Amino acid sequence: MVTVNIVVEGKTDEFVARRLLEHVGLVVGTVYGLNGKADILMRLSGYNQAARFAPWFVLVDLDNNQPCTGQAIRLWLLNQQAGMRLRVAV
């Protein structure tokens, strides 16, 4: 079984992330975040570096900050590591 650490904005997002990972047969490891999107974006580089060693799944809302999800991901996550998956809920 593959264990994936997750980073989410809040409890509702944690539930969604858990369900998504369990649906595809992955095990949820440690849950990080739970302090909103600004906190996640501030720490995203560190999570990305940690993804060099273990899988990470980050789920954030778009919140009308960017015109599209692709642009937001490119702006927020530079040099994405192989173990990092950043997804934006719209």
With 80 as the cut, is the pLDDT of residue 85 above it?
yes
Domain count, the chain: 1
Start-to-end CA span in the chain (Å): 29
pLDDT tens sequence across 5-49: 999 999 999 999 999 999 999 999 999 999 999 999 999 999 999
* d(C-alpha 90, C-alpha 78), whole Å: 21
- 43 in a structural domain: yes
Overall pTM surpassing 0.85 (yes/no): yes
- 6 in a structural domain: no
- 41 in a structural domain: yes
Structural domain range at position 19: 12-89
- 71 in a structural domain: yes
- 2 in a structural domain: no
The tokens describing 14, both together, are 């944690």
- 1 in a structural domain: no
- 23 in a structural domain: yes
